[in-house]
Amino acid sequence: MIANDPYAELERRFARMSAVSRAGAILNWDRSTMMPDGASEDRADQLATLGVIAHGMMTAPDMAELLSRAEGGKAGLDPWRAANLREMRHAWIHDNALPADLVEARARASSACEMVWREARRNADYKALLPTLTEVVTIAKRVGEAKAAALGLSLYDALLDEYEPGGRCQRIDTLFGELEAFLPAMLPRVMERQKQRGAELPLDGPFPVEAQRKLGLEMAGALGFDFHHGRLDVSAHPFTGGTADDVRITTRYDEADFTRALMGVVHETGHALYEAGRPRDWRRQPVGNARGMVLHESQSLLMEMQACRSDAFVAFAAARIREAFGKSGPAWEAGNIHRIYTRVEPGFIRVDADEVTYPLHIMLRYRLERAVLAGDLALADLPAAWNDGMKELLGIVPPNDAVGCLQDIHWPDGAWGYFPTYTLGALAAAQLFAAVRKAVPDLMGSIGKGDFAPLLAWLRTNVHGKGSLADTDTILSQATGSPLGTAAFKAHLESRYLTA
């Protein structure tokens, strides 16, 4: 490429913006894991400043001209560069819609609110969170309105587009409607079948945190996590952060129940494997990013739900679990552990929910955040609306807000429009796992031996290595033969919970 090639200049600039973003990712991880509480204001200043710097680079006065000139010559670009240019334009539209002061205000408000949320959740005190959460929502609405005008979308769709490019409420409503057509009727059938089978034998604790940590490290390694390029830590809410070459995953431990932390590690390892598998030559360009949060959540749920709650994996893991905690006896046999891991029962906590009830948790959050953003639900009334929705959808009412509307970090952290991607990811996970089982006939045999290499190789080729070369439906269609739908998820639930 010649020196004055506008596309080459864009690649150079986006690589520098990527470096700023990656630095912010590590600071974000540190804020949630190791940073002392007293440093929160300073960290908020650091993150806000990095956000403004990146925004200024993206919205430089000559960026619009560079993009237009590059697009004028895109006929000479190969498919990866053409897709990269498309993603550059999409990113520019999002950033250019916002003034720098709004970018800074958003970063500062979410940082402040997250720190307040930690204490509010600990004390089940929603009123303590309300002032900072109100500021976060006010700013989220301003962001949504600005981006809606730039993208020609509704406010909610504009926010959703940040997490799932091309994602729209109309599509979500259709898919969620299909789920609502069978999930409420399926739930009592599954629970009745469990009742007839008898109760599982309890696993006697306590389970020391250090033993849980070592078990989590072993299982993450078995799945393919590279500890030369990543680490496992503790946070108030499990998450994956860092960069493709330095992936940071977290979990949280409960000495009375090791199963929650272990599956949290497995879930976050799925995210980490996606990040580590993004196309190496394009990691510092938009086309090398993960396609969106639907595919990202599909990777975590594929590992956690599809692969690691299978009887094949539990048969492999059971011996390691017994060794980790020095246990033996009927309760610690693979069959009983598998029944515990696949037990279906309405519960208060989303991240601990089973596959059948999990979508109902997401539908509630989707319903509530749309109402808040539309001005139809006041934030002061959120706890009551949450409790009413839990009673309607799951038949239970949280005893306090810590296990109710305060349980998730997403709204305090400013992630409005994010929640639907969890259940859309579960649908995609079912499709992908069904496809890989057809493509790799002895897949479950390999998983039963703790060998995830065949699964990971298929995902690297069909999902991870695609980056953002194509949209979600195209990647899914190429890998599974069809765009995102509910059929594979329904078939999976019926097979595991009603016929197995």
Mean pLDDT of the region 88-103: 97
Given this model, what pLDDT does residue 1 score? Answer: 43
How many CA atoms does the CB half-sphere of 226 hold within 13 Å?
14
- Confidence class of residue 75 from pLDDT cuts 50, 70 and 90? confident
| Cα(50)–Cα(52) distance, integer angstroms | 5
**What is d(CA 364, CA 120) in angstroms, rounded to the nearest whole number?**
21
The label of the residue with tokens 């109100």 reads 134
Q: At residue 3, does pLDDT exceed 90?
A: no
Location of structure tokens 């053409």: 82
Mean pLDDT confidence for 228-249: 95
Residue with tokens 């038949």: 395
Q: How far apart are CA 211 and CA 326, in angstroms?
A: 10
pLDDT digits (tens, 9 = 90+) for 110-133: 999 999 999 999 999 999 999 999
User: In the chain, what are the domain boundaries?
Assistant: 170-499
For residue 330, the model assigns a pLDDT of: 97
Q: What is the CATH number of domain 170-499?
A: 1.10.1370.30
**CA 108 to each of CA 47, 50, 492: distance values in angstroms, whole numbers, following the listed order:** 8, 11, 43
- CA 232 vs. chain centroid, Å, equals 17
Q: Which of 446, 434, 444, 442 is nearest to 480 (CA)?
A: 434
Q: Is 39 helix (H, G, I), strand (E, B) or coil?
A: helix
Core vs surface per residue 385-399: b (16+ CB within 10 A) or e? bbbebbeebbeeebe
- pLDDT grade for 271, boundaries at 50, 70 and 90: very high
| Average of per-residue pLDDT across 354-360 | 96
Query: What's the whole-number average pLDDT of the chain?
Result: 96
Token digits of residue 421? 């991607």
CA distance 69 to 487: 44
Strand pairing of 246-251 and 230-234?
parallel
Pair 126, 422: CB distance under 8 Å: no
Residues 135-160: tens digit of each pLDDT? 999 999 999 999 999 999 999 999 99
Q: How far apart are CA 338 and CA 312, in angstroms?
A: 9
Quick one: 115 exposed, middle or buried, by C-beta within 10 A (0-12, 13-18, 19+)?
A: buried
> Tens digits of per-residue pLDDT, 289-316?
999 999 999 999 999 999 999 999 999 9
Amino acid at 424: L
| 9 pLDDT higher than 60 | yes
**268, 297, 355, 369: the active-site residue:** 268
pTM for the predicted model, two decimal places: 0.95
Q: Is residue 268 flagged as an active site residue? A: yes
* Short-list 51, 323, 336, 293, CA closest to 172: 293
- Look up residue 447 and give its amino acid: I
